[in-house]
Structure formats: structure tokens, C-alpha cells
Amino acid sequence: MKKWRIEYRTCFTATPMSFWVHKHLDHEVWLYASEFEPPLPKPIPCKGYPFLIVSVPGTELMFASVEEVEHFLEVMGQKNLPTTYRLSLQRIDNHGPNSHWLSRLPAALKPWSKRVRMMPVVEKALVAFRKEWG
């Protein structure tokens, strides 16, 4: 049984991770920006914007782009999780560690024993998600 699904949305749907992965370049406010690094995904013609939802015990993880999944795997794959303070320093705007996506993740998913079981599911979902983008 697959533990993930890909939905198609009519417009780009930001996730808690989007702000931290896709840095805005042309406006002071992320919501009003039109240029991002890495760029926001473009819609697939006749389908829309792919949106990945991975079901893990206790919650559903949502991803709006391949870069978000890669970033998630990079952070969660570390035996000792980095602090949200250190992760939030990567942004030059004033967003503190309490607003970081990692601080919003349920605590039950953070122990290494849980992450080791969760990571293979997210990795398989990433392969399927990449295929959607062609």
C-alpha cells in the first residue's frame, strides 16, 4: 500500500516549508514576491500543480515542490537534528526559529527511531514526485 499521493491543484499551494526553501528575491514580503530561488514550480499543462502528501503515523507531510522534499530529507536525515535557530539564520529577514517548519513538526516525528522508519517512505514518494515533473 502506498503511503503517499499526488494531488493536482489549480494554483500553487504553499506549505509550511515553502517559505524556508524558496527564498523570495524581488519583494520584501514572501507572499507578494514573483521571483524565487529556487523558482516555484510551474503547473503541468492540463493537470495543474502537483502537490505531494505523505502519510506517516501521526500526521501528513505536505510538499509543494521537489526542492522541499529534498530539503526535508536533508534535515531529517541528520542523526542529530539541527536547531531551528541555526536553520532560521539561513534567512536574512526577521523570521525567528519558532516560525521554522521544523519547530512546527509534531514532536513525535523527531526521534531518530521514528525518522529512520519515515525516511524510506518519503524517499520513494520523492521518486514518484520527480516523475510527475518529467
Strand segments (E) across the chain: 4-9, 23-24, 36-37, 49-56, 59-63
Q: What is the DSSP letter of 45?
A: T
What pLDDT is attached to residue 47? Answer: 93
Span 31-55, mean pLDDT? 93
| Cell numbers at 72, concatenated | 526535508
Q: Does the pLDDT at position 101 exceed 80?
A: yes
| Cell numbers at 130, concatenated | 520527480
The values of phi and psi at residue 53, to 5°, are: -125, 120
* Number of separate domains in the chain: 1
What pLDDT is attached to residue 93? Answer: 66
Domain that holds residue 125: 4-133
